[in-house]
Structure 1
Amino acid sequence: MTTSTPPLREAARAVLLDPDDHVLLLRYDESGGFWATPGGSLEPGEDDTTATLRELHEELGIDKQAVELGVQLAERSKDHLVGGHQVRQVEKYFLARISATAVDPTHATQPDNIREYRWWTVNDLRCTNETVYPAGLADLVARVRDGRIPQHPVVLD
């Protein structure tokens, strides 16, 4: 018996940090509710940088000139349903720096099913009972906060 690999869906996500190293997460109600970093799938012909900046504007109304986009920090691969179809999503996580005042959801063009957004500290991430994606985000943000930016993308669960 053979099993087929789901179609690939490439995504770019931002580990969006303010000057105090708080990370911005978005809350969704699907699958029992969870928090996740902003971002989404690449459009045909789009590169990771363009997709990340587009997603930040669509989801949070962030002007691309307000974002300092940095290195790729991590990568994660996960099979899950999108629009009722099984896909293998490969997500790349990029460091992004921004002032908290540059986030303006009233200018978001595609807020999808975002219920709220919140700035989290590393301690908040480590102490929460809520579901946060990706797993390992607290350690990743702590590394960046401590000046230990990975030389190669970390593989997350």
Structure 2
Amino acid sequence: MTPPTPPLREAARAMLLRYDEEGGFWATPGGSLEDGEDHAKATLRELREELGIDDNAVELGEQIAERSKDHLVGGRQVRRVEKYFLTRVSAADVDPARASQPDNIREHRWWTVSDLRVATETVYPIGLADLVKAAVEGRTPALPVMLD
């Protein structure tokens, strides 16, 4: 018997590496969409809430990747669909003191492509280094890349 498909939980994420969450891995900032939001608006809100970045400081580009994964949220199984956007901000615009919902963020860091390739820590999503390298070289995909 096939288990039922979990309810859908859509999320938006920026293509910025910024924080170490829950002590075990690095991830991109982002999170669930709120009622009435599209993915782009959710990305801007999440950057503001998690890193104190003002919307006007963000150059939000196109969606370049997507990932779908079953995940526990509040003890309930959901299918998370994340859309990743190429995003540019200045280091000076990151101000965690202005973050209204920093979650479990312990640290933020700027990464180079080389840093990503040799990182010994876990970095999500898998394949991020290749996406960032392509973006830095001006090679953005015609359609979003599907990530594992």
| TM-score range normalised by the length of the shorter chain | over 0.9
Specify which of 41, 62, 78 is matched with residue 87 of structure 1: 78
Deviations 1:42-100 (A, max 9, x none): 01111111100000000000000000000001000011111111111000000111111
State the alpha-carbon separation in 2 of the partners of residues 98 and 116 from structure 1.
17
State the alpha-carbon separation in 2 of the partners of residues 127 and 9 from structure 1.
32
Determine the structure 2 residue equivalent to 1:40: 31
State the alpha-carbon separation in 2 of the partners of residues 2 and 79 from structure 1.
15
Give 1:6 shift.
0.8
Determine the structure 2 residue equivalent to 1:19: none
Specify which of 21, 27, 42 is matched with residue 20 of structure 2: 27
One-letter code of the match for 1:44?
Answer: D
* 2:104 pairs with 1:113: yes
State the alpha-carbon separation in 2 of the partners of residues 83 and 136 from structure 1.
27
- The runs of at least 4 aligned residues of structure 1 exceeding 6 Å deviation read none
State the alpha-carbon separation in 2 of the partners of residues 128 and 71 from structure 1.
26
State the alpha-carbon separation in 1 of the partners of residues 145 and 138 from structure 2.
15
Instruction: Identify, as 1 or 2, the structure richer in strand.
Output: 1
* 2:69 pairs with 1:78: yes
Structure 1 residues 105-144: aligned runs within 5 Å = 105-144=96-135
State the alpha-carbon separation in 2 of the partners of residues 28 and 79 from structure 1.
18
Q: Secondary structure at the match of 1:46?
A: coil
State the alpha-carbon separation in 2 of the partners of residues 131 and 109 from structure 1.
26
Show structure 1 runs of 5+ residues with no match: 17-23
The alignment-based identity, stated in percent, is: 72
Give 1:38 shift.
0.6
Give 1:2 shift.
3.3
Determine the structure 1 residue equivalent to 2:11: 11
The normalised TM-score by structure 2 is 0.97
State the alpha-carbon separation in 1 of the partners of residues 117 and 73 from structure 2.
28
